[in-house]
Amino acid sequence: MSVLLASVAIVECADAAALDTALRGGLDPFVVWHISDRAVVVDHERIDDVLKLLRRQGQTPKITLE
């Protein structure tokens, strides 16, 4: 199966436990696709909400545009 995702935002964590914590902390409703045990695609139209959530969780997201 092939999947092409355009205009995506990816949240990648250091490990599976960190992603699990983020998901349980409120990230799950923003998830569009699970890439791996430590990365998910989130709704790019809600990226500001995702960033606010991660920061409330004590994360300091590194933002890259490429």
Give the domains, in start order, of the chain with CATH numbers: 9-56 (3.30.70.1220)
What stretches in the chain show pLDDT beneath 50? none
Average pLDDT, the chain: 92
Among 15, 9, 5, residue whose Cα is nearest residue 48: 9
Report the alpha-carbon angle 10-57-22, nearest 5: 45
Burial (CB count <10 Å: 0-12, 13-18, 19+), residue 24: exposed
Among 50, 48, 51, 59, residue whose Cα is nearest residue 21: 59
In whole angstroms, what is the distance from residue 40 CA to residue 32 CA?
7
Please state, for a pLDDT cut of 90, what percent of the chain lies above it. Answer: 76
